Amino acid sequence: MTPDEYCQDKAQQSGSSFYYSFLFLNETQRQAMIALYAFCRVVDDIVDECTEPMIAANKLQWWREEVHHLFHDQPSHPVSLALKTSLKHFPLQEEYFQELISGMEMDLNDTQYANFEDLSVYCYRAAGVVGLLTIEILGYKGQSTPEYARNLGIALQLINILRDVKEDALRGRVYLPKDEMTEFAVTPEMLLNTENTPQTLALFAHQAQRAQHYYQKAFSQLNEKDRFSQRTGIIMAEIYYALLKKIQTKHFPVLKKRVSINKLKKLWIAWTTARREYKHAQSLKS
């Protein structure tokens, strides 16, 4: 199995929404995006699947060194080898890969964040830097487009946190800010229930509103002339926004089940979004 085949297999196995947004990329961009996604998946799986924190920390340290080899020497892992191909075509920064690993280390060390300021650091490291790497692969010209990428990453991570609140609580992790849980009179034990209370509903609605705020803030910063080149990120954003709206319209059933968007719906969103952005790009030329 080649490094690219390894990454492709990793992406397909996950069933992630990311994979659907890659459909409209050229071959070079697709290779880089799949390699980037595989890297994210590998380091995230260390935290989620390793039951011994010390072992997980050692594995993340190994990846820190592997990233250094990727940029300065010769890497050895299939994902790193695939990323080395990407570096020939795109100006990806080592700093962002190291920040992502720092985000995973926060998962090992922090079971809850005191406030949103602390949580926003985690969201930036876990997802904002992925957005900043992605725009380099997709290409952009607008000076505000990096801020779009950063804020969109935070928005998507906040949606993830809301979707996975029960699953994370079962693992002993509570990403919802501690001060806001106190404000809404929600305890960690209440997140282990299968039924909402007026308190949990109010807290979840507050989190959804914040995610929507970052989503709207991101798109206010996206340069109009960059929309077509950034359509892969826009497709991802539309799929996640559909997930957020589904969680809201179903009255936040996140304690009972994991809310998701089915594959056919994701494909439909990807196709209609790509078509819309193509028409928008054509209108800018006329």
Mind listing the pLDDT tens digit of every residue in the chain (286 residues)?
A: 899 999 988 877 766 666 677 778 999 999 999 999 999 999 999 988 877 889 999 999 999 999 999 999 889 999 999 999 999 999 999 999 999 999 999 988 877 899 999 999 999 999 999 999 999 999 999 999 999 999 999 999 999 999 999 999 998 899 999 999 999 999 999 999 999 999 999 999 999 999 999 999 999 999 999 999 999 999 999 999 999 999 999 999 999 999 999 989 999 999 999 999 999 888 888 7
Could you say which DSSP state residue 193 is in? Answer: S
End-to-end CA distance of the chain: 47
Given this structure, which CATH class describes domain 110-286?
mainly alpha
Cα-atom radius of gyration of the chain, to the nearest Å? Answer: 19
Q: Where in the chain is the domain with CATH 1.10.600.10?
A: 110-286
Q: Record the pTM.
A: 0.93
Give the Cα separation of 164 and 259 in Å (integer).
9
